[in-house]
Chains A and B, each alone.
Chain A
Amino acid sequence: MGMKSDIKLIDDNGLRIDGRLPNQLRPIKMEVGILKRADGSAFVEWGGNKIMAAVYGPHEAYPKHMQEADKAIVRARYSMAPFSVDERKRPGPDRRAIELSKVISEALESVIFVEKYPRTSIDVYIEVLQADAGTRVAGITAASLALADAGIPMKDMIVGCAAGKVDDVVVLDLNKEEDNFGQADVPMAIMPRTKEIALLQMDGDMTYEELTTAMEMAMDAAQKIHEMQVEALKRKYVKEVDKNE
């Protein structure tokens, strides 16, 4: 946050740099079951983000000392391709990716019935192929589709969504310029049915009113994104049922 610039992020008509209204999402496309070998997979295009998620498991957790006697462990790995950003990113996990993998694992575990699969591991791989701000929330949205595709029992299908502040205006779903030159970013993951918050981070500078407005904005948008997730799952599974007839 907070790189200084003269770029005007909100124009005189109150529109954003990409023409969106403050509470408008970028275009989102979702597809389920895109990888052959994975137990579950999904692809999400969200603005300029292109993100794949794959699920392997539940399978025996390895190394053995990682096993939990009464539940499955959830291991998410968030990874950015070297070519996904302007300046080449060195391959392999950096400190940011390690932190994100941790909070994403925790958020996903909150909806999975882990107690059904003791001593196993559920591995979730999130690959950011092209990054355009909001990769962690788009990645979570893809991961939750991939978990559903893998048939892993969950109490809700988690949705990622971010809001923030640019040019003193609270806005939904920051793009790259807004993320670089904006004033605050609030990534969240929400359970759409109960509205519980499974992931919450924030950086920048906001008043209490701005922050709560941003959170409400992201929670409302989560409902819309959830509908898209349901549609994406239907597109795959309704088709498969037809084929069997």
Chain B
Amino acid sequence: MTLVTLIIRNVHRQVLRVTLTVLGIATIILAFNLIITTVRAWYAGVEAAAPNRLITRHAASLSIHLPLSYRDRLAAIDGITGVTFANWFGGVYRDAKGFFPQFAVDPESFLDLHPELMLDPDERRDFLSDRRGCLIGRRLADLYGWRVGDVIPLKGTLYPGDWEFIVRGIYRGAEPSTDENWMLIRWDSVNERRRQFDPDRADTVGWYVLRIADSSTAGALSRAVDDTFANSVAETRTETEQAFQAGFVAMSGSIVRALELLAVVLNGVTLLVLANTLVMAVRERTREWAVLRTLGFERRHLAALITGEALLIAALGSIMGIAMTIPAIDLYATLVSTKLGNFFQQLVVYPSTLVLGALATLITACCAAVIPLVTALRSNVADDLRHIG
């Protein structure tokens, strides 16, 4: 027998109470993991951002476009090895719920600067040669059941009118964090119609994407770009793609912060649930602690027994919570996609999320052990030997 044997036996004393506590912790872990997964999904775009890409947009607002003429001037700046651009298309598929990101892009340069969008060469060729063609991500195709050759009708909002695009290819992401929910259409095609119906806004782009030779020069190059267009009609704001994506997350920052706060609160709930169980368990065994001290057990041994019991219960809860998370995340992802479509690029539980949840619970368990521990250690042995409980 060891002290661990005694810890395990102690946990077995009140099977119903410990089972309920373990289930409570498991449920909290499950909720924690789902929240952290959601928060990480929110940041997926930031994680997927390439370090060697800069985004240049209008200094005042993303909604104000930049002249197409900036392209050549950008390409001429030392350190920039590629330039492409995109516009937000903002079409609606079927109804307002049928929302997914659509970008009007310069096809060839856009694909060159975004190698993480993996595409069959034949599909790439077909897209480049068809002005009505479009590319869609794999998850988007799966969501609506689209295949190559299908026609996607969109109702334009920023580009008014009814549009039809033919799926010429379905790209896959090179990394798990690559967004596979995009629809890429040809800028030249939409710009042509704009020339006819809204000539004042024709030949403009929403933002430029710049590829730079050395990511360590991102700051200096961003300033160089903005200096180039300072005091012009359309001043620019240039930042790394990561910062650009983070800006989008910041727009919904309150929600993300609320979720993060909720995750912290959940650990607080774990603390209370576990502390409650431990306080009862330790109080019931007041006389036993005194007996152990009579036998020569030191305070550190009692601390090990009580903390060990807290850790064992927390570990059981963590294991059960993790086991519940893996199947639950699929259910959660289905539920989210039913309500929000492909709002989140990916709802994937990373191992680091599971480890974080378990670690947070174990640390919380140590904190939960403090109150019963102090009670047990500060009590008088002679008094406790007379305790009836």
Are these two chains actual partners, yes or no? no
Q: Name B's A-contacting residues (CB within 8 A).
A: none
